[in-house]
Amino acid sequence: MTDYRAEYQRWLDSPALNECEWRELNEIQNDEKEIEGRFFAPLEFGTAGLRGTMKVGLHHMNVHVVRHASQAFANVIAAEGAAARAAGVVVCYDCRNNSARFALETACVMAANGIHVRLFDALRPTPELSFAIRHYGAQAGVNVTASHNTKEYNGYKVYWSDGAQLPPAKAAAIAAEMERIDIFTGFRSMEPQDAQDQGLLEYIGAETDEAFLEQVLAQAIDHEAVAQAADKLKIVYTPFHGAGHKLVPEALRRLGIRQLFPEPQQMVIDGDFPTVVSPNPENPEGFALAVELARQVDSDLIIGTDPDSDRIGCLARRGDDYLPISGNQMGVLLLDYVIQAKRRTGTLPERPGALKTIVSTEMARTVAERNGVHIEDTFTGFKFMAERIAQWESEDSFRYLFAYEESYGYMMGDYVRDKDAVTASMMVAEMAAYYSGQGMTLLDAMDALYEKYGNYAERTLNLVMPGLDGLNRMRQIMDRLRREPLAEIAGVEVNRVRDYQNGSVSVHGLGVVGETHIRGSNVLYFELADGSSFIIRPSGTEPKIKIYLLVRDASQALCQEKIARYAAFAETLKEI
């Protein structure tokens, strides 16, 4: 915790601020709460990098924070030696306001530190950055994006040489460098043209797109199913004003989808996201324009990707309505489809393996195990899945098929190590084509999976707690639940509590009885007597506590009754 008043004054007095920035800070001089909110502490640098609202101040995203983080990251890269500096860094950005500028500032700091930079010539999907790091043999990567957050946000995602987001030790090293370096005077930079002239900065674009798309298309399994449905399957696509606008339609067309209808208003690149309140494909209301277009063209399916095109959301037609397919449902649909399609085409490897997160539906485990596929849980975040895949490869144990998390992220192939909405869009289209050939929509297919594997239901709830007060409140709630674990939830007894922070498994009245298979994440997992799961964790990127409800019962109606009861109980946690 900094002396926020002194830090505010230091910024106000700094010659590094331009007149516009100085005016922004000067205008809040009598607003003590706003000053505290901007300067009480730096933005925390974690394994996902930085994310915050765009304002002038220590606790927000702005050019000074970007230069500061870039210098710290440059120091960590340079510490790896001359070969690491030559291998360099790939820099990417999305459609957000200031993203292009922040990316160029990052490139200029890296170049001034003797680190070779490949900077994308325009916005690109996050998975293409992960691909480019691996494709070019780079040491690291930076993506300027805030993923699916609202327009006020931006972020700074950091990657290492495997194409995955940073491991904790590297993130901690960057955070330590940021503590050591002065934010205004501790960085080096240079002009972009000078960096180019000295061979330290090069722009990449179309050739990288082609190499990436080649890998994406190689994931397609059943071309015959697509060919048979190509004339009748209609798909509406929206990139929510973001980075999927080019490569997602291209991938679908190359797959063989002929009836593709991009939503024209949302194909326009715009960091203000003028047609939606939130550019998050998890929110069905953001699809209003796409639904309108789908009705006009009589479409079967709507696909939407978030602004940096790493998450995908879908709606499928049922009668006159277009209903959302949840992240958990799509994960199960894709897992089952990939297994069956590879089995059908004779391409299912020996010892196949799949990955999901601890907060994702247990239906995926049933699907995998019934089909002889090994499945494991990781913490939320594809860096943990990437780490496990690398271990499988080094051990020569399991052949990775598919990985997903409930928050609309999916990963296939060994060319990316992050969630990938480009490949996922293509696979969803192929799957929709296959089921179309059976006279089924994806909603029909989901019903068939419930019939085959059992009825499951899930819901994710968000207890939003903005600002400094919210951070303190979130901490208090998690501390209280650890001190006084819930013995029952909505009248149902808690059998066991898994605390993934310290790795303990506890039973009420007995204490610790075992340990979790992984530890080190702020998650409390309550196992209930009726087989349900009630999971609580603070978000790592947004000011909210997330509660995950996972249930199973004899019918969907009974599942939804359980979900409603547990959701009502979850709301009471705000008051504890």
Kindly list the catalytic residues: 147
Amino acid at 371: N
Q: Could you write out the DSSP letters of every residue in 477-497? A: HHHHHHHS--SEETTEEEEEE
Cβ neighbours of residue 344 closer than 8 Å, sequence gap 6 or more = 222
Q: 519-533 burial, b for 16+ CB within 10 Å, e for fewer?
A: eebbbbbbbbeeebb
User: Across-strand partners of 120?
Assistant: 204
Closest alpha carbon to 265 in 257, 274, 256: 274
Q: Over 106-149, what HEC string results?
A: HHHHHHHCCCCEEEECCCCCHHHHHHHHHHHCCCEEEEECCCCC
- Rounded to 10 deg, the angle between the 421-437 and 206-217 helix axes is 40
Q: CA–CA separation, 354 vs 476, rounded Å?
A: 36
If 0-12 CB within 10 Å is exposed, 13-18 middle and 19+ buried, where does residue 496 land? middle
Q: CA–CA separation, 524 vs 516, rounded Å?
A: 11
Q: Which two tokens stand for residue 345?
A: 């085409």
Helix/strand number for the chain, H first, E second? 20, 23
- Which helix (DSSP H) or strand (DSSP E) does residue 405 occupy? strand 399-405
Residue with structure tokens 């798309």? 213
Cβ atoms of 315 and 290 within 8 Å: the answer is yes
Cβ atoms of 551 and 562 within 8 Å: the answer is yes
- Which helix (DSSP H) or strand (DSSP E) does residue 318 occupy? strand 312-318
Pairing type for strands 511-515 and 140-144 reads unpaired
Closest alpha carbon to 62 in 125, 186, 143, 156: 156
